[in-house]
Amino acid sequence: MIVMKFGGTSVQDKAAVRRVIEIVGRETRPRLVVVSALSKVTDGLLEIARLAEQRDAVAAGKAVRALQVRHVELAGVVGAAELRATLLKELDATFAELAAMVGALGVVGEVSARSRDTIVATGEVASSRILAAALEDAGQPSRWLDPRELLVTDGTHGAALPDRAATDARLRANVQPQLEAGRVGVTGGFVGASAEGLTTTLGRGGSDYSAALFGAGLGAQEIQIWTDVDGMLTADPRVVEAPRVVSRLSFDEASELAYFGAKVLHPSTILPAVGSGIPVRILNSHRPEADGTWIARETARDAAGPAAIACKRGLTRIDIASTRMLMAYGFLRRVFEVFERYRTSVDVVTTSEVSVSVTIDDRRSLDAIVGELQAFADVTCEEAMAIVCAVGEALRSDARLATQVLGALEGLPLAMVSQGGSRKNVTVVLRDADVTEAMRRLHRRFFEAGPTTAERTALATA
Ligand code: ASP
Ligand code: MG
């Protein structure tokens, strides 16, 4: 079986839902469909909770009705009168419950984390009900499965921790029989319930996490994350003209890239899947024929080069040279204690016997940090710096790649060079002004031999 997860934009309107129906219908394996709230709905529900908290019952009530109208409109995607009537009744009940709750909370003016979860869960409950009915309507026997009966969590409202064993038992009891009966299971992501039956949520963007937990629990063959981009790219399209889709990534590579803002999905959310050896595929619901990106625990990439390059801009470099403490142990500890005290995280570090250079992103405490460091070191800062980094498993096995990275950057002043301990990346720090040039050179060097993404898609769809 497989898990197919669709994000908020994949169900935002009728056209999007029709695309989902087609994608799910084309699949022949038994499948559990996991869906997010319609796009912007979770934000809207959080806003409703805020309005209730401010005792603005009128505005809260209005916002609830607006959300209801949007869902009812989308329910029009269901053609068969009887199916649609049932769906509308369900949606009515869901939103009546929400309105009653928001009305009551609006009087008290107090919204607990527990109440907020119940409010926010409405988004995934409603979207999954609509999708289940729409699939059934399209001739695909489906069964809506209440996410509060599948995902068992602890009681940490807003950031609940899943209870894997309890969830797996629920999956076996509630999902397995539906799949065996030839029905498509449809449920909402992000939402669960504690053992006591109180509604919980996993934290923003949690639907990917739900999909991974469900896939792991059901022993899925793969987990598909359907979104509105082609997958992970070889470089940020705002910096490099024609990045390509990375066809395969290891989990570690994906984690490195996520740190650089590859926002397609957060790797920690798919950890349950990857931990169980289940590959995760990122696919584009606008172009289902494209291959997307596979993420697996390990990946044997045929190409010997890096998987992708990435950059992070607007950093500050701090050079810290030991004076009195020359050669003394404890120097690094003293340095990093200062950063810790000011809760400032350090991105890249390079060291020598008598000095250490670091980059930081968050400059809020820079003056204070420098002040404290100066008590025992000479400190100089340089602003407008950036990290450029090549990521890939191959960097570990093929020492020549680091030389090639540096070679491609010849002539650009490099402030720091680091090959990580895991050696899955080579990182350089240079002036922000040189980032575009550096990224373009690296991209040309490692990725621009074959056809571009656009060309490959044209070939694939021709
Ligand atoms: N609807 C939730 C959110 O917007 C969960 C998700 O979409 O993954 O955060
Ligand atoms: Mg998301």
Percent of residues, the chain, with pLDDT higher than 90: 78
Most ligand 1 atoms within 8 A of CB, residue of 47, 207, 213 to mutate: 207
> What confidence tier does 266 reach under pLDDT thresholds 50, 70, 90?
confident
> Is 123 near ligand 1, meaning CB less than 6 Å away?
yes
Ligand 2 centre to CA of 208 (Å) is: 7
Ligand 2 centre to CA of 97 (Å) is: 26
Q: Name the least confident of 159-163, 218-222, 389-393.
A: 389-393
Ligand 1, atom 5, residue with closest C-alpha? 205
Q: HSE (CB half, 13 Å, CA atoms) of 60? A: 26
> Is 392 near ligand 1, meaning CB less than 6 Å away?
no
Q: Which atom in ligand 1 lies closest to the alpha carbon of residue 37?
A: 1
Residue 11 has pLDDT above 60, yes or no: yes
Residue-level pLDDT at 461: 56
Q: Name the least confident of 58-67, 94-103, 431-440, 452-461.
A: 452-461
Which residues lie below 8 Å from residue 43, measured CB to CB, with a gap of 6+? none
> What confidence tier does 240 reach under pLDDT thresholds 50, 70, 90?
very high
167 in Cβ contact with 215 (< 8 Å):
no
> What confidence tier does 354 reach under pLDDT thresholds 50, 70, 90?
confident
Residue-level pLDDT at 79: 97
Q: Which atom in ligand 1 lies closest to the alpha carbon of residue 206?
A: 8
Question: What CA–CA distance (Å, rounded) separates 36 from 188?
Answer: 6
pLDDT, one tens digit per residue, over 156-215 is: 999 999 999 999 999 999 999 999 999 999 999 999 999 999 999 999 999 999 999 999
- Of all ligands present, the nearest one to the C-alpha of 127 is 1
Ligand 2 centre to CA of 273 (Å) is: 16
Ligand 1 centre to CA of 122 (Å) is: 12
Residue-level pLDDT at 181: 98
Question: What CA–CA distance (Å, rounded) separates 92 from 89?
Answer: 5
Ligand 2 centre to CA of 438 (Å) is: 31
Ligand 1 centre to CA of 174 (Å) is: 23
Q: Which atom in ligand 1 lies closest to the alpha carbon of residue 8?
A: 7
Average pLDDT for residues 281-285, to the nearest whole number?
A: 93
Most ligand 1 atoms within 8 A of CB, residue of 11, 34, 36 to mutate: 36
Residue-level pLDDT at 143: 98
Residue predicted with more confidence, 10 or 269: 10
Paired tokens of 432: 């922000």
> Is 36 near ligand 1, meaning CB less than 6 Å away?
yes
Q: Is the dihedral of CA 49, 51, 56, 62 positive or negative?
A: negative
Residue-level pLDDT at 229: 86
> What confidence tier does 96 reach under pLDDT thresholds 50, 70, 90?
very high
- Of all ligands present, the nearest one to the C-alpha of 36 is 1
Measured from the Cβ of residue 394, the count of other Cβ atoms closer than 10 Å reads 18
369 in Cβ contact with 344 (< 8 Å):
yes
- Of all ligands present, the nearest one to the C-alpha of 210 is 1
Residue-level pLDDT at 325: 55
Q: Which atom in ligand 1 lies closest to the alpha carbon of residue 203?
A: 9
Sheet holding 355-360, edge to edge: 346-351, 355-360, 308-322, 377-391, 425-431, 414-419
Residue 462 has pLDDT above 70, yes or no: no
pLDDT, one tens digit per residue, over 293-352 is: 999 887 765 557 899 999 999 999 999 998 765 556 788 889 999 999 999 999 999 988
Q: HSE (CB half, 13 Å, CA atoms) of 177? A: 6
Ligand 2 centre to CA of 127 (Å) is: 14
Average pLDDT for residues 253-261, to the nearest whole number?
A: 80
Residue-level pLDDT at 34: 98
Ligand 1 centre to CA of 244 (Å) is: 27
193 in Cβ contact with 202 (< 8 Å):
no
Residue-level pLDDT at 260: 78
> What confidence tier does 456 reach under pLDDT thresholds 50, 70, 90?
low
Residue-level pLDDT at 256: 82
Average pLDDT for residues 67-84, to the nearest whole number?
A: 98
Q: Name the least confident of 98-112, 175-189, 226-240.
A: 226-240
Paired tokens of 16: 């999007």
Residue of 328, 314, 425, 315 lying closest to 377 (CA atoms): 328
Report the chain's mean pLDDT, rounded to a whole number: 92
Measured from the Cβ of residue 329, the count of other Cβ atoms closer than 10 Å reads 7
If you write DSSP's letter for every residue of 129-154 in order, what string do you get? Answer: HHHHHHHHHTT--EEE--GGGT-EE-
| Whole-model pTM over 0.95 | no
> Is 29 near ligand 1, meaning CB less than 6 Å away?
no
> Is 204 near ligand 1, meaning CB less than 6 Å away?
yes
* Cross-strand bridge partners of residue 320: 356, 379
Q: Which atom in ligand 1 lies closest to the alpha carbon of residue 204?
A: 9
